[in-house]
Amino acid sequence: MEENLNTGVEDNETENKETQEQETKTFTQADFDREISKMYDKFEKKFSKRAEEAQKLASMNAEEKAKYEFEQRVKELEKKEKEWTLKENKYEAGKILGEKGLPVAFADFIVAQDAETMMANIKLFDTEFKKAVSKEVQARIGGNIPKGGTADTPAMTKEKFKTLSLTEQQELYKSDKDLYMELAQ
């Protein structure tokens, strides 16, 4: 019985090794060199900016440093305020879309920095989305949707059928084949 358990474990280990070997990617030296140089360029760019800023700060006097740091903080706060405004507007856009019965997933495409632009985007999206849905429904149905019932139209009799022109009879045949067959007899 112990032998059966051990072979099951060995089989699982063999399968794991095979899947690991299949998932392993192979790179040529050129691919490897290209990836390394990309990472190096990214690293160099990031730290050269920091080094330049540190050098800039070192050459400033105390008053200039304070002014520079204040400006940097103001820029950071403005950036965070923009991000907050966008998040808030995205939430509002999702709420409005939900109220109008439109897909909330489109809020990312409608959101804007100010409320007026966002509302204009929502109105435009609403009309265009409804047009597109209507067009697709029309295409799938293959014609116009009836506007009302047939309660107001008088029933077709054999006498009325005989007075119809051939084109009108053909139209009746296309629209209601059973009625046509009944009246044609």
Does one domain contain both 67 and 101?
yes
Tell me the H-state helices in the chain.
Answer: 2-23, 29-58, 62-99, 107-110, 115-141, 158-163, 166-175, 177-184
pLDDT surpasses 60 at 10: no
In this prediction, what percent of the chain has a pLDDT beyond 70? 81
pLDDT mean over 70-89: 93
Distances (CA, A) of 38 to 26, 28, 42: 18, 16, 6
pLDDT surpasses 60 at 3: no
Residue 42 lies in a domain: no
Interatomic CA distance for residues 70 and 76, integer angstroms: 10
Any residues with CB less than 8 A from the CB of 119 and at least 6 apart, and which? Answer: 96
Does one domain contain both 121 and 60?
yes
Residue 37 lies in a domain: no
pLDDT mean over 54-77: 87
> How many C-beta atoms surround the C-beta of residue 147 within 10 A?
5
Does one domain contain both 94 and 165?
no
Does one domain contain both 120 and 77?
yes
Q: What is the helix (H) or strand (E) element at residue 98, kind and residue range?
A: helix 62-99
Does one domain contain both 101 and 132?
yes
pTM here is 0.42
Interatomic CA distance for residues 112 and 124, integer angstroms: 13
Domain count, the chain: 2
pLDDT tens, position by position, 15-49? 656 655 556 778 788 888 899 999 988 888 888 88
Residue 38 lies in a domain: no
| Residue found by looking up tokens 């109008």 in the block | 100
Does one domain contain both 59 and 138?
yes
Residue 49 lies in a domain: no
Residue 107 lies in a domain: yes
Q: Note the pLDDT of residue 152.
A: 46
Domain of 134? 54-142
pLDDT surpasses 90 at 75: yes
Residue 1 lies in a domain: no
Residue 3 lies in a domain: no
Does one domain contain both 62 and 106?
yes
Does one domain contain both 62 and 130?
yes
pLDDT tens, position by position, 99-157? 988 888 888 888 888 888 888 888 898 899 889 899 888 888 875 555 554 544 557 78
Does one domain contain both 86 and 163?
no
pLDDT surpasses 90 at 169: no
Interatomic CA distance for residues 88 and 73, integer angstroms: 22
Residue 41 lies in a domain: no
